[in-house]
């Protein structure tokens, strides 16, 4: 497979500006994904993961969102320069998103089948009858009987709603899927079913995927590459093996330290001390410094540049750890 990146995000910077304050949500973020690969964006709530995904799809709320800079290249085409009329053709057909909360992603006044058909009819030159047939096929593909086309969202369980949201996202066979914590609201059994279904669809359609999550177990099952996000920055990025076997940024090490390990005889977990950074503050130096057990005065003097520890494994830390798990 070619090493050319299907999706490239370069120096993306996004702020939310109001009369009271400015939230520095995404700060000079860059990454790329090869065709057919899955990238996991991992980090605490408020780290900027969803803002990155919404920037790719260009669905940020404006105002207050302001894209201060950056490029988003999809197969060589800069999405940031497309007029809205062209971007409407890209959404749903080339790039699509599974939103975090199926309860709010679905229109409660529309039949679920019509919500799937609406996407199909928008992008493809089909009759209403053909659109309905395709929508029924999508329901069947995600494990919902076609007879339930006529039902409304309130008649479905949380897991079934999430399946409908996935059916809407995949209705036009997109090349890039942005999955924003698709299993967060589901119980463990349904979560396993949804992940298995996504893995199967990903393999069958050779989709490129960005999976946003804070669950490292989900990342281990689904992802080829991983980017660790903290304070609106990618602080460590590499292959799944790089991140899981050789975590190097103190924040990444802390995430793994907070996980239970059945093979260890530890009696207590090791949580990351302190609270996530206030995104309204502009901090000089490493943003993880206030919570880092290894921080020195040097860490707060200037912006920390990412260094390549091994080929493809980048870490934004002056003193990367030499952890082996």
Q: Would you list the DSSP string of 214-264?
A: S-HHHHHHH-SEEEEEETTEEEEEEEHHHHHHS--SHHHHHHHHTS--TT-
Strands 95-98 and 38-42: unpaired
pLDDT beyond 60 at 1: no
- What is the reported pLDDT for 218? 87
In whole angstroms, give the CA distance from residue 325 to residue 317: 19
* pLDDT tens-digit readout, 276-314: 888 998 888 899 999 998 888 899 888 889 999 999 999
Please give the mean pLDDT across all residues of the chain: 88
Instruction: Put the strands of the sheet holding 5-17 in their side by side order.
Output: 22-34, 5-17, 65-74, 77-78
CB 164 within 8 A of CB 115: yes
The pair of three-digit structure tokens given for residue 187, joined into one six-digit string? 């119980």
CB 64 within 8 A of CB 293: no
CB 172 within 8 A of CB 92: yes
- What is the reported pLDDT for 130? 92
pLDDT beyond 60 at 265: yes
Model confidence band, residue 239 (pLDDT cutoffs 50, 70, 90): very high
Q: Which of 60-64, 147-151, 214-218, 267-271 has the lowest mean pLDDT?
A: 267-271
Q: Which of 57-61, 141-145, 187-191, 303-307 has the lowest mean pLDDT?
A: 187-191
Q: Which of 298, 269, 270 is nearest to 284 (CA)?
A: 298
Q: Which of 188, 191, 111 is nearest to 154 (CA)?
A: 111
* pLDDT tens-digit readout, 163-206: 898 888 888 888 899 999 887 766 777 778 778 877 887 887 78
Instruction: Give the other-Cβ count within 10 Å of 309's Cβ.
Output: 18
In whole angstroms, give the CA distance from residue 188 to residue 314: 33
Does the pTM surpass 0.85? The reply is: yes
- What is the reported pLDDT for 89? 86
* pLDDT tens-digit readout, 22-43: 999 999 999 999 998 999 999 8
């Amino acid at each position: 497979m070619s090493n050319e990146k299907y999706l490239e995000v370069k120096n993306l910077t996004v702020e939310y500006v109001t009369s009271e304050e400015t939230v520095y949500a995404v700060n000079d973020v860059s990454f790329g994904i090869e065709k057919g690969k899955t990238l996991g964006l991992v980090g605490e709530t408020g780290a900027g993961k969803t803002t990155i995904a919404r920037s790719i799809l260009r669905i940020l709320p404006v105002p207050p969102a302001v894209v201060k800079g950056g490029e988003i290249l999809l197969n060589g085409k800069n999405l940031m320069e497309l007029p809205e009329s062209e971007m409407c053709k890209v959404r749903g057909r080339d790039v699509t998103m599974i939103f975090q909360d199926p309860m709010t992603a679905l229109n409660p006044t529309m039949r679920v089948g019509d919500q799937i058909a609406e996407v199909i009819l928008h992008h493809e030159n089909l009759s209403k009858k053909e659109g309905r047939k395709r929508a029924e096929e999508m329901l069947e593909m995600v494990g919902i009987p076609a007879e339930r086309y006529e039902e409304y969202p309130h008649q479905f369980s949380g897991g079934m709603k999430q399946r409908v949201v996935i059916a809407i996202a995949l209705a036009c066979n997109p090349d890039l899927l942005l999955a924003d914590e698709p299993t967060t609201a589901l119980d463990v059994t349904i979560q396993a079913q949804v992940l298995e279904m996504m893995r199967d669809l990903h393999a069958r359609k050779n989709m490129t995927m960005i999976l946003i999550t804070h669950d490292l177990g989900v990342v281990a099952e689904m992802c080829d590459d991983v980017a660790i996000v903290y304070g609106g920055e990618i602080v460590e990025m590499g292959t799944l093996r790089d991140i899981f076997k050789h975590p190097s940024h103190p924040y990444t090490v802390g995430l793994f330290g907070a996980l239970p390990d059945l093979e260890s005889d530890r009696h207590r977990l090791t949580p990351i001390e302190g609270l996530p950074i206030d995104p309204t503050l502009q901090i000089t130096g490493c943003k993880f410094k206030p919570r880092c057990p290894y921080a020195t005065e040097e860490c707060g003097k200037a912006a920390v540049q990412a260094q390549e520890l091994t080929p493809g494994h980048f870490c934004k830390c002056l003193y990367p750890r030499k952890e082996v798990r």
